[in-house]
Structure 1
Amino acid sequence: MKSSFLTLIGLLAASVAAGPVPADVGSALEARASGDGSKNAGKDSGKKGTGGTATGGEAKAGNTSALVLPDGRIKADATPESFNVLESVFKSAVVKGDGLKFSDVITFPKVDASLFDKATNTKAFAINIDDKSVFVPKGGEAQSNIRRADLLPSIRSQANDVAVTGVRTMHFSIQRDATKPLNLTHDYQVFNLESKDFSFHQIDVRTGAENGKEIAIFGNSKTTGGAPKIFSTPFGEGKFENFAIKMDFTANTVQVFHSTGNDPLKQVTEPVKNDLAGLGEYHFSLQKNPVGQSPQPAGIKEAVIFGGIFMEDSTSNPVTLQ
Structure 2
Amino acid sequence: MHTSALFGFLAAAATAVLAVPQPDHRPNPHKAAVKCPLIFDGRIKSRTPVTDFDSASTSLFNPDNVKSSNLKWSQIIKFPEGEKWSRFDNRRHKPLEVTISDESVFKTQYGFRRAGLIFAGDTNTGSPASKGVKTLHFSVRQDSKRPLNLTHEYLNIWHETSDWSANQFNFQTGTINGQEGKLPKNTTLQVYYSKGNEPLRNVTKAVSNNNAGEGQYQFGILKKPTGTDDVVNKGYQESWIDEGQIYGGIFIEDSAGGSISL
TM-score by length of 1: 0.64
Counterpart check, 1:135 vs 2:106: yes
Aligned partner of 1:297 in structure 2 is 238
Aligned partner of 2:260 in structure 1 is 319
The secondary structure found in structure 2 opposite 1:112 is coil
Aligned partner of 1:8 in structure 2 is none
| Cα deviation, residue 76, structure 1 | 0.3
CA contact (8 A) 1:153 1:282 kept: yes
- 5+ residue gaps in structure 1? 1-59, 137-141, 217-227, 232-252
CA contact (8 A) 2:36 2:261 kept: no
Counterpart check, 1:95 vs 2:66: yes
Aligned partner of 1:147 in structure 2 is 113
Letter aligned with residue 186 of structure 2: I
4+ runs deviating over 4 angstroms: 60-65, 156-159
CA contact (8 A) 2:34 2:261 kept: no
Distance change (3 Å), C-alpha of 1:229 and 1:161: same
CA contact (8 A) 1:98 1:132 kept: no
CA contact (8 A) 1:175 1:306 kept: yes
Higher relative contact order (CA 8 A, sep 6+): 2
CA contact (8 A) 1:207 1:215 kept: no
Aligned partner of 1:196 in structure 2 is 162
CA distance in 2, matches of 1:215, 1:310: 28
Distance change (3 Å), C-alpha of 1:215 and 1:205: farther
| Cα deviation, residue 318, structure 1 | 2.3
Aligned partner of 1:262 in structure 2 is 197
Matches within 5 A, 1:78-117: 78-87=48-57, 88-110=59-81, 111-117=83-89
TM-score by length of 2: 0.78
Aligned partner of 1:230 in structure 2 is 186
CA contact (8 A) 2:36 2:255 kept: no
Distance change (3 Å), C-alpha of 1:258 and 1:271: same
Instruction: Give a deviation string over 1:71-106, Cα, whole Å, max 9, x none.
Output: 110000112111111031200001112311000000
CA contact (8 A) 1:205 1:215 kept: no
The secondary structure found in structure 1 opposite 2:189 is strand
| Cα deviation, residue 61, structure 1 | 4.5
CA distance in 2, matches of 1:202, 1:157: 16
C-alpha root-mean-square deviation of aligned residues, in Å?
Answer: 2.4
Letter aligned with residue 80 of structure 1: V
Distance change (3 Å), C-alpha of 1:93 and 1:163: same
Aligned partner of 2:10 in structure 1 is none
CA distance in 2, matches of 1:186, 1:255: 26
Letter aligned with residue 278 of structure 1: G
Distance change (3 Å), C-alpha of 1:206 and 1:156: closer
CA distance in 2, matches of 1:117, 1:215: 31
CA distance in 2, matches of 1:63, 1:285: 23
| Cα deviation, residue 295, structure 1 | 2.3
Distance change (3 Å), C-alpha of 1:158 and 1:89: farther
Counterpart check, 1:207 vs 2:173: yes
CA distance in 2, matches of 1:95, 1:158: 13
Query: Kindly, what percent of the aligned residue pairs are identical?
Result: 40
Distance change (3 Å), C-alpha of 1:317 and 1:144: same
Aligned partner of 1:280 in structure 2 is 215
The secondary structure found in structure 2 opposite 1:104 is helix
Aligned partner of 1:178 in structure 2 is 144
Distance change (3 Å), C-alpha of 1:179 and 1:89: same
CA contact (8 A) 1:206 1:215 kept: no
Instruction: Give a deviation string over 1:226-280, Cα, whole Å, max 9, x none.
Output: xx7636xxxxxxxxxxxxxxxxxxxxx7311001111111111111112121111
